[in-house]
Amino acid sequence: MGRSPIVALIMACIPIVNLYLIYKWWDELKTATTANYSPFIRLILCLIPIVNLYFLWKFFTGVEDAAKKKGVGGYPLGATIFYIISIIFFIPAIYLIYKTQELLNALE
């Protein structure tokens, strides 16, 4: 069951709930792509500084690839460029969370 992108934004603002959101996102991506990894291990890796940058990038590119395969679309400017811009500036990060939830909902 997909959640509203607005609910995802609210969940992202609450620290412990944010961890649950990231776990659920990994789980939803795993289900959508039939990948073979543990969402819990990926969540733990997202908590390690520097390593988290790689795994979040891997997540966002995975969401975009799955969405493009389904014909839904993707992020503006592509996942990699938009992710880098979101790290530097705050407002694109809000849109990144919103768009990610929107794409995951479309993958269901």
pLDDT given at position 98: 93
- Cα(25)–Cα(89) distance, integer angstroms: 22
pLDDT, tens digit (0-9, with 9 covering 90-100), for 78-105: 899 989 998 888 888 899 999 999 999 9
DSSP assignment letter at 37: S
User: Per this entry, what is the length of the chain?
Assistant: 108
pLDDT given at position 64: 93
Angle at 82 between CA 27 and CA 50, to 5 degrees: 65
- Cα(89)–Cα(77) distance, integer angstroms: 15
> Residue holding tokens 């940058």?
53
pLDDT, tens digit (0-9, with 9 covering 90-100), for 28-73: 999 999 889 999 999 999 999 999 999 999 999 999 999 999 988 8
pLDDT given at position 50: 93
- Per-residue DSSP letters for 67-79? HHHHT----TT-H
pLDDT given at position 37: 93
* pTM of structure: 0.87
- Cα(64)–Cα(91) distance, integer angstroms: 20
pLDDT given at position 1: 57
